[in-house]
Amino acid sequence: MYEVTTITSFSGAHNLRDYKGKCENLHGHNWKIEATVCGENLDKTGMLLDFTELKKIVGGLLEGFDHQYLNKVKPFDKLNPTSEIMAKYIHDELKGRLLCEHPKLELSGIKITVWESDRQYAVYHE
Ligand SMILES: [Zn+2]
């Protein structure tokens, strides 16, 4: 099994809804997003997926979040902006964009890790 990972970061503020504790208050993180695609088969050049392409797609789906108050940006105006929910959202968006732009790509899975600090992260994969 091969894995290809790209790491992207952005700064964004949020506060958690329906939560009692420090994180119900407005605060910010330097978010780090690790996007990993997994698969058994390489293309004829010997790549699972070009890093440049993965980076472009992940960058495109995160660009609206940088230096924003995430609770006011779709879909987090409705969804609670926890690391777990962000990871699933990024997973589903990336999966959709990869299927659309690379219909022949045979991936076994996508794994998204959302770091909200150096010591805390949440992961989503199917
Ligand atoms: Zn937070």
Between the CA of 15 and the centroid of ligand 1 the distance, in Å, is 6
CA proximity to 105, closest of 52, 56, 40: 40
C-alpha–C-alpha distance, residues 87 and 115, integer Å? 9
Q: What percent of the chain has pLDDT over 70?
A: 100
In the chain, where are the structural domains located? 2-125
pTM here is 0.95
pLDDT of residue 119: 96
Between the CA of 26 and the centroid of ligand 1 the distance, in Å, is 8
Token output for 10: 């952005």
Digit-coded pLDDT (tens) for 75-121: 999 999 999 999 999 999 999 999 999 998 989 999 999 999 999 99
Between the CA of 44 and the centroid of ligand 1 the distance, in Å, is 43
Maximum CA extent, the chain: 53
pLDDT of residue 59: 96
Name the CATH architecture for the domain at 2-125: 2-Layer Sandwich (3.30)
Task: Enumerate the active-site residues.
Answer: 23, 67, 116
Q: Show Cβ contacts of residue 20 under 8 Å, excluding neighbours closer than 6 positions.
A: none
Q: What is the mean pLDDT of the chain?
A: 96
pLDDT of residue 73: 97
- Residue 16: what are its φ and ψ, rounded to 5°? -85, 135
